[in-house]
Chains A and B, each alone.
Chain A
């Protein structure tokens, strides 16, 4: 059945529905990774966003039980160039379309995703409406224009856990290693946490307590953590002033590691500011330079906001830069045991080049414990 995507600037794309029926709105972003659509769909950082995959064929390997990054998909909508129901993978359990319908995700195929990507590249991320039910473009245009803009939107509190829980499962068979017995306790703020971060922490010898975004610094410290982890998540970091306050308090009192939104929050907590990138970084091929070693990592990225380098105080060192656009990719506190990266060392999807950051976090925690 024919379906429509209408962007807030009036541009219309035609497609074919292959997910749930209905309509949806969100900010359209493009993701350039060629593998890992299951991870993308279930990454809570995509909450509120309609994701278009630039890879030509999506759904080829079906859907399996191991690859999701959360218990359900978080994207507001899903756009692809070519989808067929046939899939092939020894791990697959069902077809992608079935999974999307089950989770009520509106998805369109046969979209000219390249034209859409070029459009977003020129115009920046745009709000949009998708419908599988109406061809009334005026109505959809209005819907797109009345959708909430990403700036000023607190989505993290909506997707993070409401209740604390503990996690002790590692990567298991896929990493080819058994997880070591836990020797460190990490408390992780859940702004929209990806499962693979938890698995990686466990792989590196941690036992994790996941806490809601509203948890106070005192409550966190009461858990006697060896370190605090600040997770990835969706939305505008500037809206999370309550979380920033907790982080300010925790800085210097416990080792801290932030990823993605967690990195932006750390930037805010030390007095920096964040800004919205024109169309964000969403993919698996971004070169990031470690400024101390000169080494280049190919990184997995998914963010629409960035920390402004010039806003950072003197006791903060910029440790990593994106080689495509020069934006800040990593921070280190020169006085406190705290660091953060904008990209995703846990990958899923993406390359494993930055895995040693988890080792670095462990090293900080062990150093701190010895003191």
Chain B
């Protein structure tokens, strides 16, 4: 069955901002779908509110809409673009929910654009717990005993039947949001109430617990001729009870006999039919009782998913790409297997290696959050590793995580609380693998470890083997260790760092020694077929076998180091930059070599770069790749080879940390020198450079103790911003107002040493902050964009909404920023990207920070301006000049473009939801409009925040903000809002002629503001923090806001923006416009206008 000829234009729905449970894997799947459909000649229209994605690059679709993923917005796009079909299966849960909403609103019928890839009915069966159970029952598949409740009373009836512990799963929520395990009736009530609120259909499923059963997933594909293939089996190391996104997972499944595996396979095929998935990829989850093999079907997702991204990377089978082609009518046997090219896609990949995925968490950023893992996903990223054995993949995955570990322990960083061993084995937490290690080391029986953790005994035995080998190694030093044993250690995944610790040497010495003994990695191809057929795609992983298959070429090559597992502060934006570097260099004819270990990304798609190494981003692993790729190039620091180079400035901190050592190994670093990057981070030298150029910066100093910190503060005065040196995303950053707070900070900040001092800056209260991105070659500097942050100083720039171009700022100050930026770029001899953060207070522009590398805002600026800045930078880094490339002027930008952020509060109940200097957002959305208000409103909608058009606004501000809140309150009143305020604020407003109803603070009495929020009587919260005294009051209020979906604004500039936005929404005059249209408008303006000088 060839492709359908009755459809021409296809609308692809994206996944929106990165949130916990829905991350860059949907950029990967979206990019694959766009490419696959355009390759087939379809006109692709794309909508996604997330500007950091690669899929929203204008090259990937014929019309790209960075617009809200709402019925209202997408209806307008459909009315304008008239697609023949809508593909909802590559944009995660968001896209599926949106597709159902569009259907229910009658939009799909009205415009005659049916869904392809999944029917509304199939989505409903898969997503509605009760319908799913009925569908399973019809085909005789076993499910857990359960019932669906829409009230607490119904839930209480059901749990009488199903018993405790009870699993609660709200319907239609992402990553298990609002779900949980209740061990008693009290917990049960609280989780059910919360779950009913969070479910868009106000439904929860109450289910019998299968905690402790083994969990398996099968990735299934079906075409319209009913051909079904299983792409991958995945076994969760963590037993049932931990969300699969938070579980350590292994592919292929390791502990199933063929009979047991085939039974799951048969069931998966039956599930596809029962749910009615006609074409595409789905994920089916099973629980298996380890005691008797009893199986139940847990759930299925009728779309590509996080697991399918993992399965694609684990097998080399591009699930999203194939799913897109199946959706337009192809059958599996009509599509080739890209890796072998000779054989068709209608087969099941077979693996001769083991893949381990380990999630990465960010609990340290959310004080007060319980670091326990359950049915609601909390991880923010993941690392994947490939090895020829489980042990090898396991150790590689742990060092890929970048949590400071050299592998599975043996790195001198144990930090175990032995007293709580049993608790930490039983209760799943991120550090459990290290407690397993400690338990085995301290002699706990393997069976006991397996019983307490729920890990399958086979895995525990593998762990014991690693420890046994470690024991054998400890008997030697580097001088005495037998080569055979050293090879065995490398084959078992031990890093040079671990071996250095075990053999009492330096990692460099271990490396040197093993190289003299020819103990070097071999590289193998991920080939889908266990070597049965030749693989033509160089998708590689390392091991220590007898022959290497890397087959390096002698073309001029550039190695691009990726950004590793997603984390808060270093996510999709950096993958975007890395991919752009690849695109640019490929166009210039270089062989591009990507190194990364993040399975969610576009950069780890095998056809993004010429060659892909799926490897940890540690110095050892990167140098090994350099050695492999540099064969015959005689690498020498004194005479850098023109035929190989490395790019470190696009992947965030991860590659930057390696820059100096890579340079020392004789490999040229392209672009700005590591020396200059270091200079910008070095307080003293950078301060001197600023003084030399007469560029002001906030008064500052460094301290290595409380005493030296006090000396600094005596000089510069409170308040101050304190932070550790070398951080990204504001880790450990705080604003300190008193000496007591300072003492506490200095006591609690980890790792303070002369090498790692605490940086102290004067905090510029009420300042405006700006982010400036620029590209420089050694001759010219061009400003890419100046972004004005909507939140005032003190909020991490990554957590602040920002607008481009800035319209509220006097031109002279913008000119000052431009001047400083050019001066700094030249002083640092920047070649490539640079980001400068400025603050403006009392008509003085201060430099806060310079980062001569790719920044988080590069994709946003590129989308707003239509200039692919990361690509331009990559070209410049190879020696091309901006003048040659035609980028010498700061682009004029049509319209207003607002970036807004999403914060993961709902995943961490109990934590304070106010913003601060530590970045905590997981992703961003973008809105563009003719006016600032329209752009801001769309950005809010793009982040799933619907601003109210009317109702009540609760206002509570600190004394400093009171004068400024009056006009804001007046505007809200003029827009028809009722004002509600606490006593102090209401009095102040009354004195200035604005009426507000008075409501109690939480600690004053009832009904208080939290009661009103819960009753739905408050539609918007404007609350600037009042300080320590009312901390808990505000916490309770903001928490209620999060729980009940009431937007909470914590700065007055944010409130002003909201007013503009509400005006735009109320007028209803907003339009949708594609990026291509925006960019044409901008280009028109550039032709008409004089350039900004």
Interface residue ranges, A against B (CB under 8 Å) = 13, 30, 32-36, 38-39, 54-57, 60-61, 64, 66-67, 81-82, 84, 86-91, 112-115, 117-118, 121, 174, 283-287, 289, 294-296, 298, 323-324, 347-352
A-B residue pairs, 3 tightest by C-beta: A36-B258, A86-B461, A349-B258
Question: Considering only CB atoms, which chain A residue lies closest to B549 in the complex?
Answer: A118
A34 to B348, CA, bound (A): 11
Q: B253: which A residues are within 8 A, CB to CB?
A: 35
Closest partner residue, chain B, to A118 (CB atom): B531
Residue of B nearest to A86 (CB): B461
For B340, give the chain A residue with the smallest CB separation: A324
Contact, CB under 8 Å: B456 / A35? no
B842 in contact (CB, < 8 A): no
- Contacts A57-B389, A112-B547, A121-B531 given; indicate if A324 touches B347 (C-beta within 8 A): yes
CA distance A91 to B289 in the complex (A): 12
Cβ–Cβ contact B346 & A117, under 8 A = no
Say whether A90 contacts B225, CB under 8 Å.
no
What residues make up the interface of B, taking CB atoms closer than 8 Å to A?
A: 225-227, 229-230, 233, 252-263, 265-266, 290-293, 331-333, 342-344, 346-354, 388-390, 446, 456-458, 461-462, 464-465, 524, 529-534, 545-547, 549
Whether B257 pairs with A61 at a CB distance below 8 angstroms is: yes
Instruction: Tell me if A81 and B389 are in contact (CB < 8 A).
Output: yes
Contact between chains at B343 and A284 (CB < 8 Å): no
Q: Most chain-B CB neighbours within 10 Å: which of A30, A36, A60, A91?
A: A60
Q: How far is the CA of A174 from the CA of B261 in the complex (A)?
A: 12
- Neighbour of A84 across the interface among B225, B227, B461, B524, CB < 8 A: B461
22 contacts between A and B (CB under 8 A): A30-B530, A30-B532, A32-B530, A32-B532, A55-B352, A56-B389, A56-B390, A57-B389, A61-B256, A66-B259, A67-B258, A81-B389, A82-B388, A84-B461, A88-B456, A114-B530, A283-B530, A285-B348, A287-B333, A294-B331, A295-B226, A352-B266
Q: By the criterion CB–CB under 8 Å, are A347 and B262 in contact?
A: yes
Please, how many angstroms separate the alpha-carbon atoms of A349 and B293 in the complex? 18
CA distance A285 to B534 in the complex (A): 16
Assuming the contacts A114-B524, A294-B225, A298-B347, asked whether A84 and B262 have C-beta atoms less than 8 A apart, the reply is no
A88-B458, A296-B227 known; A352 vs B262 contact (CB < 8 Å) = yes
Residues of A within 8 A of B388 (CB): 56, 81-82, 114
In Å, the complex CA distance between A61 and B253 comes to 11
Residues of B contacting A113 in the complex (Cβ-Cβ under 8 angstroms): 352
- Beyond the given A86-B462, A88-B290, A284-B350, could you list 17 further A-B residue pairs with CB under 8 A, ordered by the A residue number? A34-B261, A34-B351, A35-B261, A39-B258, A54-B531, A86-B458, A88-B456, A89-B260, A112-B546, A114-B388, A287-B344, A289-B333, A294-B331, A296-B225, A296-B332, A348-B258, A350-B258
Known contacts being A34-B252, A61-B257, A115-B546, is A350 close to B262, with CB within 8 Å? yes
Residues of A near B350 (CB, < 8 A) are 32-34, 54-55, 283-285
Query: Do residues A87 and B458 form an inter-chain contact, with CB atoms below 8 A?
Result: yes
Q: For A91, what are the chain B residues with a Cβ–Cβ distance below 8 Å?
A: 257, 293
Q: How many A-B residue pairs have CB under 8 A?
A: 172
Give the CA-CA distance A38 to B256 in the complex, in Å. Answer: 12
Distance, CA A30 to CA B226, complexed state (A): 30
Please state if A323 and B344 are interface contacts (CB–CB under 8 Å). Answer: yes
Instruction: Report if A54-B266 is in contact (Cβ < 8 Å); known contacts: A38-B257, A117-B530.
Output: no
CB pair B262 A117 closer than 8 Å: no
- Asked if B256 and A35 make an inter-chain contact with CB atoms under 8 angstroms apart, the answer reads yes
B1043: shortest Cβ distance to chain A, in Å?
43
Cβ of B354: which chain A residues have Cβ within 8 Å of it?
A: 56-57
Given the contacts A57-B354, A88-B456, A114-B545, A287 and B347 also touching, CB distance less than 8 Å: yes
B176 to nearest A CB, angstroms?
Answer: 28
Q: Which residues does chain A contribute within 8 Å of B225, judged by CB atoms? A: 294-296
A32 to B229, CA, bound (A): 16
Q: How far is the CA of A298 from the CA of B266 in the complex (A)?
A: 12
Give the nearest-CB partner of B354 in chain A: A56
Distance in Å from the Cβ of A148 to the closest Cβ of chain B? 25
Shortest B326–chain A CB gap in Å is: 13
CB-based contact A323/B530 at 8 Å: no
In the assembly, what is the distance between CA of A253 and CA of B335, in Å? Answer: 43
B317 CB to nearest chain A CB (Å): 11
Q: When A90-B293, A298-B348 are in contact, do A57 and B254 touch as well, CB less than 8 Å?
A: yes
What's the Cα separation between A286 and B348 when bound, in Å? 8
For the complex, what is the distance from the CA of A284 to the CA of B258, rounded to whole Å? Answer: 10
A117 closest partner in B (C-beta): B531
Q: Is the CB of B265 within 8 A of A121?
A: no
Taken together as a complex, chains A and B put the C-alpha atoms of A30 and B529 apart, in Å, by: 12
Please, how many angstroms separate the alpha-carbon atoms of A36 and B352 in the complex?
Answer: 14
In whole angstroms, how far apart are the Cα atoms of A272 and B388 in the complex? 43
Contacts of A174 in B (CB 8 A): 259, 263
Bound-state Cα–Cα, A298 to B229, Å: 7
Q: Inside 8 A of A60's CB, which chain B residues have their CB? A: 254-255, 458
Which B residues are CB-close (under 8 A) to A89?
A: 255, 257, 260
Most buried by A among B332, B343, B458, B461: B458
Complex Cα–Cα for A113 and B543 (A): 13
B493 to chain A, nearest CB (A): 12
**Minimal beta-carbon separation of B469 from chain A (angstroms):** 12
Which B residues lie within 8 Å of A294 (CB)? 225, 331
Tell me the complex Cα distance, A89–B457, Å.
9
